[in-house]
Amino acid sequence: MLSIYRKLNSSMQISRIEFKTIEDIWQTELWPNRTSAIESHSAMTWPFEGKPQSIDMNIFDYPATFLGAYIDNKLVGVNSGHRTTDEQYRSRGIWVDPEYRKRGVAQMLFLMTAHQAKVEGCEMLWSIPRKTALPAYTKFGFETVGDYIVTETSEANIYVSYFLPTI
């Protein structure tokens, strides 16, 4: 299990946070104009393997993990993750305070999300980032799949996948 508190370097710590904490950040910073309810999970499925339904409410049966990145005791980044199948894990809702971008915060959050996916037995991590966030994803090793799509929160999102290394 992912440790509750993990010191990653001399000034950044990644720890589990409550849904309410990440929900507040998502509402005010990441998705301020979103009209649908912000929930702990997304029922969206990975559309590029087999013929899945686009929405699967059984996803809510899997546990979700909420992570916060702290520098000098200040919450400067968040991300969450949950399985969407027994082998697939979705990274969802990455946000980094603009004053702390390009300092490795997103990379550490991705690393810990990938670790949690591996702990839960998954083989692939996936997401649907905005075009503006894509460089952080590709820097970590995600690869784009398909074309840009419009979502409720952005005019340009694209599916990305990252295959977890085998041990």
Specify the pLDDT at position 54: 86
pLDDT value at position 166? 83
Return the half-sphere exposure (C-beta side, CA atoms, 13 A cut-off) of residue 69.
27
DSSP 160: E
Residue type, 56: D
- Let me know: does 158 contact 131? Beta carbons within 8 Å: yes
Q: What residue spans define the domains of the chain?
A: 5-163
CATH superfamily of 5-163: Gcn5-related N-acetyltransferase (GNAT) (3.40.630.30)
- Report which of residues 45 and 52 the model is more confident about: 45
In the predicted model, is pLDDT for residue 8 greater than 70? Answer: no
3-state secondary structure of 23: helix
Whole-structure pTM value: 0.91
Per residue in 84-108, pLDDT tens? 999 999 999 999 999 999 999 999 9
